[in-house]
Structure 1
Amino acid sequence: MKWNTYIKDYQSYLRIERGLSKNTIENYGFDIERLCLFLETNQIEVSPLKITDETVQQFIYAVSKEVNPRSQARIISGLKSFFNYLVFEDYRKDNPLELIETPKTGRKLPDTLSVQEIDSLIAAIDLSSNEGERNRAILETLYGCGLRVSELVSLKISDLYFEESFVKITGKGNKERFVPIGKLTEKYIKIYQNAIRSELNIKKGFEDTLFLNRRGSQLTRSMIFAIIKDLAVKVGLNKKISPHTLRHSFATHLLENGADLRSIQLMLGHESITTTEIYVHLDRSFLKEVMHSFHPRK
């Protein structure tokens, strides 16, 4: 497979699973094509599976002479995403941009939904269909436990510890963590299990998988994206949302209601608390409240 084949597969992933716009996908493609042009100009014949971090660093150094830090940051981010995709699909074992730092241009805050907007999405689900009960349980689990979409689709029945009010999650790097589960989320999962899932003709190998399609197989990430996108359109939500938006909302609402960052970090499965700290910037009123409540000079 040549660069073009991998680029096309990656762009399909961005369109179907990430739900990105045509212009955004084209921009991601331009970044990769810029790298390809650099390789061609310097007569470096190497596939995306064999390119080294040294070669990528040479490219970034060349780019830094031509564009401003913001454009440079976008190019690095785009290439990191491309190679992360190749790693995720097991085409590569590593990302050659892993150690390359992005120029500081200010952090982009994640999109979030209000509690009312989340309630509107869930209320818009058609519960007259079997898929409706499943989809309600899916949204409640994404928001109620703050899961990544990959964690949701791979969630096992044997991972549910309802008596202890915890769910065992297998996250990035196969790292396991336990996340508390609320009674409401537990209720809708049980309704789905007892009324819908129990009636499915479950295919071999998926007996322990919690959320299944109507053919008895594991749901794909793109199916979850499509479910949420369709609901957003249905309620007229003028925001670009994805399963990750519910995860961001989970963290933001916990912080707004007084949860500490360390607890949120553990529930989200962030390796570094620096990643979790971005949520502090979402609600300035919360910061003022903390200062006025706890600072001795309030």
Structure 2
Amino acid sequence: MNDSAKAATGGRCRAAVLGSPIRHSLSPVLHRAAYAELGLTGWSYDRFEVDEAALPGFLAELGPEWAGLSLTMPLKRAVIPLLDEISETAASVEAVNTVVVTEDGRRVGDNTDIPGMAAALRERGIEEVGSAAVLGAGATASSALAALARVCTGEVVAYVRSQARAAEMRQWGARLGIEVRTADWADAAEALSAPLVIATTPAGTTDALAHAVPERPATLFDVLYDPWPTELAARWSMFGGAVVSGLDLLVHQAVLQVEQMTGRTPAPLEAMRKAGERALADR
């Protein structure tokens, strides 16, 4: 093992992504690419199929070699009571996607999706927008609202399918200090004229909106990366609009995870992105 890397993290050199389903996760590709670029030859990053019921047992068996975990659904909220501490960012949306195991064995939760989303927008030159639209109302949508709280100076309109989801989004907005108005999913086509549209829905959900892309679209952030491009993203690009992809988000949030788990900064963003692009092209 690289002695300096081992010393920097107290001998901790193992990490993994947990979730269910997990087979298609790109996280191992991204993190391993970072380790290779940083010369962390003794580090490993794996994936484990772990659901909510199995999570407590998995955490209980972590040894001193563990540096951290990445978490995907359905574990982002389930893990919170099992941790010693969570960051303000994670607490703001009640979702943890990163667990760092400290040298004394404490488990500290964070959310890198939110700053990762903001960083992906910043990379495309989006520092501030006057208004925005969010398609969907799940866990990713709450992270989108938290990211928008950093870049949006005006109203956010969330397009949802139920009154219960609408109430949740308004509550998140109040909690995050951002003005959220809700609208029915049947009117989602009108969202596409916003300066920034963030699509947080599952694959196929926004396909029916592709025909409604305006002649001069602004910016679309579609959190999906497989399959890619989505019909909406392809149409958006065809009309000359800027598109931020789910891979952009995945890479930027993984960069922050690598830095937290290894103690090495900066993590190699471009090497990680290229590894992700290659992996997707091979699927």
Richer in strand (by share): 2
Q: Normalising by the residue count of structure 2, what TM-score does the alignment of the two structures yield? A: 0.30
Q: Which has the larger radius of gyration?
A: 1
